[in-house]
Structure 1
Amino acid sequence: MEKGITALKKLLQLYDDILSVQHRTEIARELRDEDDLFLLLCMSETLGLPNPAFYYTLELYPYILEKFHDWHLRMGMEKSPLDGIRCC
């Protein structure tokens, strides 16, 4: 029974790989864009934009600060746009 389940998992993984092989860069770009949007929503209060989800995103700040440096460089900002966050 377990052997059949692992074989099915391998088959499904192979099927997924076959479908996504031509679209890996597009998928990576979409995931990066989603991550950027999520980061913007989480950091919008510090940027001066009202954030309706502030209460729900407050506990995520420690995890997001690790990605903040890469994000602001990707957005074309040489230094952190926030005075309270010095990552460079």
Structure 2
Amino acid sequence: MSWRAITEGLAEYYRAPYRQAMAREARDRDDLFRLLVLSEALGIPNPAAPYTLELMPLVWDDFHDWHRRMGMPHSPLDHIRCC
């Protein structure tokens, strides 16, 4: 057994109980990011709109999953029909 295998095994041992909590936190962080990027399109004033406009192509791919997770059965944007 090498040191690398032992190190990886210990890292997995300590991370395993928190994996679900970390995944949930990452998803919540990503949801907040999407809300900030799409806020101007959703009618929420965003002072950083010129900067977030460049990021919109990155969030379009997961837009359907995001609005379903936020509890919106259909797209809240008039110009985006995903379902």
User: Which category describes the TM-score, using the shorter chain as reference length?
Assistant: 0.7 to 0.9
More helix by share: 1
* Unaligned segments of structure 1, at least 5 residues: 1-6
Q: Cα distance, 1:14 vs. partner?
A: 3.7
TM-score by length of 2: 0.85
The one of 45, 50, 54 equivalent to 2:45 is: 50
Distance in 1, matches of 2:66 and 2:53, equals 18
Give, as a single letter, the amino acid of the residue that structure 1 aligns with 2:31: D
Residue 46 of structure 2 aligns to a residue in which SS?
A: coil
TM-score calculated relative to the size of structure 1? 0.80
Q: 1:73 aligns with which of 68, 73, 81?
A: 68
1:84 and 2:82 correspond: no
Q: Which runs of 5+ in 2 are unaligned?
A: none
Number of aligned positions between the proteins:
82
- Give the fraction of aligned pairs with identical amino acids, expressed as a percent: 52
* Larger RCO (alpha carbons 8 Å, 6+ apart): 2
